[in-house]
Amino acid sequence: MNRLLGWLDRVMLALLGACLLVLVLVGGGQILLRELADIPLPWATEFSVVLMIWATMLTGYVGVRRDSHLSADFLGLAMSERKRALMRTLALLLSLVFVAVYGWESRLVIDAMEGIPFTSMPATQPLLYWSLPVGAALMALALLDKLWQQWSGVRGAA
């Protein structure tokens, strides 16, 4: 499992780096072409929004893997180590339920957007909304790994 997640970590970081590079190139290219050659890129804004949303959803996986997501750590300062571990396990379980529910329910949004085109891109709206279940599945995978590590630690402390 660690080998798979390590590989996935590298793929995600490479993909996110590529997204950033493409966003900079498209944004810069749009400005330069419009200002210097009077050539507009009507698709650039929509494309950039879609790419940014995909990058945001994929970054959720990286945040979970690195434990760099927001949390209220101060709540457990007065607790014993065991109680803090149980609170962390509960937080991981609740997070897993949350991403599972929104990942599953996002299919309704995808279905509702089917056939609705973007204004200036030859694609339909589900292209944007597929980022929700994909991001949720990746975060769920990372949360399951964290939960397994946490559960092993809590069980070992008993």
Q: What is the pLDDT of residues 135-153, one digit of tens each?
A: 999 999 999 999 998 878 6
pLDDT in tens, 15-74: 999 999 999 999 999 999 999 999 999 999 999 999 999 999 999 999 999 988 776 666
State the Cα–Cα distance between residues 67 and 81, nearest whole angstrom.
18
Model confidence at 85: pLDDT above 90? no
Q: What's the token pair of residue 53?
A: 């949303």
Between the two ends of the chain, the Cα-to-Cα distance in Å is 25
State the Cα–Cα distance between residues 150 and 85, nearest whole angstrom.
7
pLDDT in tens, 64-80: 999 887 766 666 677 78
Question: Radius of gyration (Cα) for the chain, nearest Å?
Answer: 20
Average pLDDT for the chain: 91
> What's residue 158's pLDDT?
41
Higher-confidence residue: 2 or 106? 106
Q: What single letter denotes the amino acid at residue 23?
A: L
* pLDDT band with cut points at 50, 70 and 90 for residue 5: very high
Report CA-CA distances (Å) from 48 to 27, 43, 58, 81, 129: 8, 8, 15, 45, 14
Residue 23: CA atoms inside 13 Å, Cβ hemisphere, count?
15
> What's residue 152's pLDDT?
81
